[in-house]
Structure 1
Amino acid sequence: MSQDAQKTPYNPPALEFKSSTFSVPVLVLSSDDQITVEQQLLAKIQLAPEFFKNSPLILDVQELNKHNIDVDVAAIIGIIRKLGLLPIGIRGGNPQQNEQGIALGIPVHSIHTSSITADTNKPKTPAPEPETKDLLQTGTTLITQPIRSGQRVYAAGDLVIVAPVSAGTEILAEGNIHVYGALRGRALAGVQGNTEARIFCNALQAELISIAGNYKISEDLNQNVHNKPVQIYLDKQTLVIQEI
């Protein structure tokens, strides 16, 4: 029998579904004033244009519906797209709003996400859809390899990194984050709502920091703590950055 005849044919499936964890920003509307929404959203985008460029976004209208404030979903989606954001879902909507979203190719989301939330005064967010490295073991996850631009790392417990963390990365943990070096990119601790989580680093150079959905971008950080060893924690829903 020839060598070619002994080869096993390679017939992989054409596709497969896999579970993964993503951090998706949520735009929570608290006003139905389209002009105000557009102006405030544009102002935030101009603060960090690379963050918002082609960023995915979930539109949340539950606050408006709680107060019986009607909103033109199609118009808001149009504003979001006009400003270069990519709406990928709507949540908190009533049946009519959900139908509007679906008609525009926007699926209905009813899940709780571990993403950054935002209102018209504080929209925000990360992230390209780059190479993803999901590390889901519980306990402490130790990373000894560099986290390069475009990578996303997720840990179900604490995350300890003893290697460089480059700009353009995203590191997420359900527990604490420890970076023994310069912290660049985006760091999100307590992503499942753990308000006791903390972020520790030897040199704060992050583009975004977040604990349990409460966040600050680099423009909001006091320059007195830039490039210094700090710990970051929540105090009554306020992010505190303290030198260590």
Structure 2
Amino acid sequence: MSNTPIELKGSSFTLSVLHLHDAQPEVILQALQDKVSQAPAFLKNAPVVVNVAGLDGSVNWKKIQQAVVSSGLRVVGISGCRDEALKKEIERAGLPLLTEGKEKNSRTKAAPVEVAPSVEPVVNPVTKTRLIDTPVRSGQRIYAPNCDLIITNHVSAGAELIADGNIHVYGMMRGRALAGASGDRDAQIFCTNLAAELVSIAGEYWLSEQIPADYYGKAARLSLASGALSVQPLN
């Protein structure tokens, strides 16, 4: 048993990033309520990082924060903030300001340019594979950071698979599968029996009822095409 009352350790978590492109609280709340209603089990009380890089002009942060919280999401940090007045408002609200990727280097340039790395999540290179040979039970969550995830057994309803790279399931795929969790839009999901509650690639997702009926219960391969999920037979 440790002699100290606390321990501070490093860890990693998969968080969704909410990009705001409108500063009107009522518009934000309605859009979020629509999203949460589509996948309440997945999004209700979900922790999110709010990216404010797309907001211009006057912003009432207090009302925006209330709108996000009222939708059922839980704000754990703010990213993409470059306005000093807005930074002070966020700090007064007790929320941490997060620095993403190359954003910190923009101060050294004479004329900084708004580029994608300050808005989009940083994509880490996939360097290895995590292999799971046992069944994945309901309530289990398996995360493969910076790599692919391969499951050679069945995945039960209520289980969750998360990978920064691709996901392969060689068995019945129920539960949820989230590939490209760190933002890799080239990630794919491969499955020999598609019966998932939710599938997601880089934040784009389908619920079970959105999976085309011709592919439900079949061997399938999911990927992003023109920014949207698509599915084809797994040959």
Tell me which interval the TM-score lies in, with the shorter structure as reference length. 0.7 to 0.9
Matched, 1:157 2:157: no
**What is the RMSD of the two structures over their aligned residues, measured on CA atoms?**
2.3
* Corresponding residue to 1:23 among 11, 14, 17: 14
CA contact (8 A) 1:178 1:199 kept: yes
Give the distance between the partners of 2:64 and 2:173, measured in 1 at CA. Answer: 35
Secondary structure in structure 2 of the residue aligned to 1:231: strand
Identity of aligned residues (%): 39
Distance 1:12 1:203, change over 3 A: farther
Partner of 1:168: 158
Q: How does 1:43-122 map to 2 (within 5 A)?
A: 43-64=34-55, 68-93=56-81, 94-111=83-100
Question: RCO greater where, 1 or 2, for CA within 8 Å and sep 6 or more?
Answer: 1
Could you say which residue in structure 2 is the equivalent of 1:235?
225
Residues in 1 aligned to 2:9 and 2:209: alpha-carbon distance in whole angstroms: 36
* Bigger Rg, which one: 1
Q: List runs of 5+ in structure 2 lacking aligned partners.
A: 102-125
The secondary structure found in structure 1 opposite 2:97 is: coil
- Deviation of 1:53 after TM superposition, in Å, equals 1.8
TM-score (normalised: structure 1)? 0.75
CA displacement at 1:75 relative to structure 2: 0.4
Q: How far apart are 1:80 and its partner, in Å?
A: 1.6
The 8 Å contact of residues 195 and 211 in structure 1, kept in 2 or not, is answered as yes
C-alpha distance 142-225 of structure 1, shift in aligned 2 (>3 A): same
The one-character-per-residue Cα deviations of 1:51-84 (angstroms, maximum 9, x if unpaired) are 22211111111012xxx33321110111122222
Q: Which residue of 2 aligns with 1:148?
A: 137
Tell me by how many angstroms 1:241 deviates: 0.8
Length, aligned pairs only = 208
Other structure's SS at 1:74 match? helix
1:209 Cα offset (Å) = 2.2
| Amino acid across the alignment from 1:23 | T
Q: CA shift at 1:31, angstroms? A: 1.2
Distance 1:195 1:219 in 2: 23
